[in-house]
Amino acid sequence: MSRAIRWVRDNYAEPMRIEDLARLAGMSTSAFHWHFRGVTAMSPVQFQKQIRLQEARSLLVARPDDVAGVGHLVGYDSPSQFNREYRRLFRAPPGRDSARLRAATDLRDVLHLP
């Protein structure tokens, strides 16, 4: 299971086939789904999506003017799907969320907080 999880983390922007991950873990697809959910508390697709969106959030702090480019970089072909899923997870559209995060980071720097 750890090899499959590591593969998803290392290759989050790539298309993912559950059959390949199950084979990597040495399990049937149904057993893999069951064990994966037991370890991560989410499905493989949900896990990949969360990693993609967390990485996008980090990238957007540095590249706020390239929302579509960041979405594509983390594996989304559709900017609208990227925006929709980002908003669902972080409760704000990518541009507004990254602006808020940058402002919070700037404030911590000014106040010399960790």
What is the spatial distance between Cα 73 and Cα 63, in angstroms, rounded to a whole number? 12
Tokens of 101: 């995060």
If one compares 103 and 14, the residue with the highest pLDDT of the two is: 14
Cα separation of 26 and 1, whole Å?
Answer: 8
Q: 89, 53 in Cβ contact below 8 A?
A: yes
**pLDDT band at residue 110, thresholds of 50, 70 and 90?**
very low
Kindly report, residue by residue over 17-65, the tens digit of the pLDDT. 999 999 999 999 999 999 999 999 999 999 999 999 999 999 998 887 8
List, for residues 67-103, the tens digit of each pLDDT value: 999 999 999 999 999 999 999 999 999 999 998 888 8
